[in-house]
Amino acid sequence: MRSELDEKVKSGMEVGGYRIDRKLGQGGFGGVYLAWRDGRPSALKFIHLESVGDWGWRELFVMLPQQSAHVVKLRGHLRWPEEQPEYLVLVMEYVPGMTLYGWAREHNPCAREVVEKLLPLVRSLRGLHAQGVFHRDLKGDNVLVRETDGAPVLVDFGAGSSPLVPRVTKGVLPPASLYYRSPESLAFSRLEGRVPGARYRYAETDEVYALGVLLYVLLTDVYPFTGPDAALVEGILAGAPTPPHERNFRVPKTLSHLCMRMLAREPGERVPGMEALCEELAVLLQEAREAPGWERPLCFDWMEEERTTEDFLPEGGEIDPEAWLAKWKDKKPRRGRRPMAVPARSHRERRVLPALVALGALGLGVVAVMYPWAREGELEAPPAWEVAWTDQDGMAVAGPGAPPALSPNQKRAPCTAGLELEINGGCWLSIVHTTPACPPQTVAYEGRCLVRVAKPQPVPMSVDAGGPSSPP
């Protein structure tokens, strides 16, 4: 669905002397576009002045003094259109590359590589905190891995704070994703949320906690706490996540213990700040260079035969959730480049090709008679083992050795542990039937009858902080 901004900012047009190339993404406070000027690329962030108000100017002043190689640089700003300005446009350096989480999924790093990515990021945060600046929205999607040198770069200071800019947050808590909120911030919101004028005092320990969640995801590919918002809040407040090395036995215990200390329920038991975290990560990096166990990829790749979260649900009988989770905790999702699946073929091919294969058994003469008819539909019979079966919607079900294809509205991983299966990056339910007698609208794969899990409806990802809504 195109936004009002997409209708106004189009490829090829000029904005303040910058030629728009394409849209890079959409954030909570504005859209970001790749643009060129004098042969140099820049990232232009359009922030709607009327709906966002002072938040855009806050982001400008928070970014203005930053000079770290691992923090996105601000090059300038302008108001657009010039005649009747509707948007504040931040001109930033363009950082080609994928997000930190995307890098982990694509690259399947070892524990040493995770620490090497985290350490320069922590050093940059140490410099920001020395200036009294907090990012307040730390997560893997707000860290880019630069394509040219693999360096992590912190981006999106839309929720940032600085002692040099006035406070504009209207709610108890600053805007942030619920997954990364500290237990003490949620406890404050619960106790003081209805008190007029109550404001949570964000601290460095909150930033340490958010970074701990980020590290946990890099090590295990799941959040420390999951579920609907209410259950997620209760889990964070209880503060007892499964240690990373128990969820994923490839995680070194020393790194797992550090992650757990970053996620400690009580701020006083947490790593006190970025300075101490830098020192501990530097020690672990030295350990990593001397211990071969740190070089093993953290997750199975897609070509390994060992079982992961794609485990079998028992057919019939009741599931013991505790026993199921105890078995699952040592399983890991897959990362790395996916193998190429056999493409789906049309319904016409599905009808013609099996006929050709069957008639081939009767003799080449019959096939020769049928050949012109096959060519008339521009079909060319492949070897029988390359034919991909399709379901009633024309989606690929499974070729020999190929996983079933995903539908556009299907839920993607991570899947619900103990209930859904993750296959080919999507979520499936296994029903109590055995192949080949699978019911209609199901997929037969590896001796199971599978049903696609539909994408869930969008749910709020952050506690209402009274901040501005997304620009139109």
Say which amino acid occupies 467.
G
CA distance 283 to 279: 6
Q: Which of 472, 430, 419 is nearest to 452 (CA)?
A: 430
98 beta partners: 145
CA distance 282 to 265: 24
97 beta partners: 146
CB 110 within 8 A of CB 296: yes
CA distance 319 to 116: 41
139 is an annotated ligand-binding site residue: no
Q: Which two tokens stand for residue 188?
A: 């404050």
CA distance 383 to 403: 19
CA distance 108 to 303: 12
CB 75 within 8 A of CB 63: no
Q: Which of 405, 422, 410 is nearest to 340 (CA)?
A: 405
Q: Are strands 300-301 and 14-15 parallel, antiparallel or unpaired?
A: unpaired
Helix count (H) and strand count (E) of the chain? 14, 17
Query: Which segments within 95-227 are labelled E, that is strand?
Result: 97-99, 143-146, 152-154
CB 45 within 8 A of CB 32: yes
Residue 117 C-alpha from the chain's centroid: 17
CA distance 267 to 183: 9
Task: Write the DSSP symbol of residue 451.
Answer: E
Task: Write the DSSP symbol of residue 161.
Answer: B
Answer whether the bond into residue 414 is a cis peptide, omega within 30°. Answer: yes
- Annotated binding site: which residue ranges? 45
- Annotated binding site for ATP: which residue ranges? 45
